[in-house]
Amino acid sequence: MLTVHHLNNSRSQRVLWLLEELGVPYEIVRYQRQPDMRAPKELRAIHPLGKSPVITDNGNTIAESGAILDYIIATYGNGRLIPPAGTPERLRFTYWLHYAEGSAMTPLLLKLLFTLMPKRAPALLRPLVRKVSNTALSTLVNPQIKQHMAYWEGELGKSEWFAGNEFTGADIQMSFPLEAAAARGGLEDGHPKCVAFLARIHARPAYARALEKGGPYQVGR
């Protein structure tokens, strides 16, 4: 049976959600983040980088959210949650699968990093670290996040979902940057279509079932 190696509060929540959308049976092996938020060493037994999500299925071990979604939809989807080959929607679908982690998450990760750096610095150095971090945030990181959020808002103005007028795996993949931007990027200000997108996905029964299975889910602020 397909096994999801599930780390709490992580991108593997998306994988559970996809499996619930498709009604694919699966089992969960659970891993808890360490107090420093890193993934535990046990995950390295599954994949050398010790990251989540990872799935195992039929002797294959697959990592990277985009590759996992691609595999599950190709293997178990029977044409569901993916636009037909040869359509512009299919090109957009593949684009979003890559864009979410290849581009959108980068400034959101930097935001988290530069927000945490002052908090973790020794007390004496903290004001200096905060000054350095704030400069990086205001000159480099925040403008990039704004640009990405405006881009999503524009795209969700062209069609109801990211790859067109049907809900697809691209929306599952894109949910993580949008959740992260809502948690730490100011998405709720001036991006009504993005906010409505998040409300629509949260209302899906499969999303709720995945949360029940995966446990509490909170994106880092």
Q: Does 24 bind a copy of itself (CB under 8 A)?
A: no
Q: Does 62 bind a copy of itself (CB under 8 A)?
A: yes
Q: Does 190 bind a copy of itself (CB under 8 A)?
A: no
142: left (phi over 0), alpha (psi -120 to 50) or beta: alpha
Q: What are the Cα distances from residue 125, in Å, to 3, 129, 133? A: 45, 6, 12
Cβ proximity to a copy of itself, 24 vs 63, nearer residue: 63
Q: Does 67 bind a copy of itself (CB under 8 A)?
A: yes
Strands laid side by side in the 60-63 sheet: 26-31, 2-7, 54-57, 60-63
CA–CA gap between residue 92 and residue 219 (Å, rounded): 26
Q: Which of 14, 111, 148, 191 binds a copy of itself (CB under 8 A)?
A: 148
Segment near a copy of itself (CB under 8 A), from 2-10, 20-28, 55-63, 176-184? Answer: 55-63
Asked if the peptide bond before residue 216 counts as cis, ω within 30 degrees of 0, the response is no
Least Å from the CB of residue 203 to a copy of itself = 28
Q: Helix-strand-coil percent breakdown of the chain, rounded to 5?
A: 60, 10, 30
Q: What are the Cα distances from residue 123, in Å, to 58, 128, 131, 133? A: 51, 10, 14, 15
Q: Which of 23, 25, 35, 48 binds a copy of itself (CB under 8 A)?
A: 48
CB under 8 Å to 128, separation ≥6 — which residues? 121
Least Å from the CB of residue 46 to a copy of itself = 13
Least Å from the CB of residue 102 to a copy of itself = 4
Least Å from the CB of residue 25 to a copy of itself = 20
Q: What is the 8-class DSSP label of residue 86?
A: T
Count of residues of this chain found to bind a copy of itself when the rule CB under 8 A is applied? 42
Kindly list the residues in this chain that would bind a copy of itself in the complex (CB under 8 A): 48-49, 51, 60, 62-67, 70-71, 88, 91, 94-95, 97-99, 101-103, 105-106, 109-110, 113, 117, 121, 125, 128-129, 131-133, 136, 140, 147-148, 150-151, 154
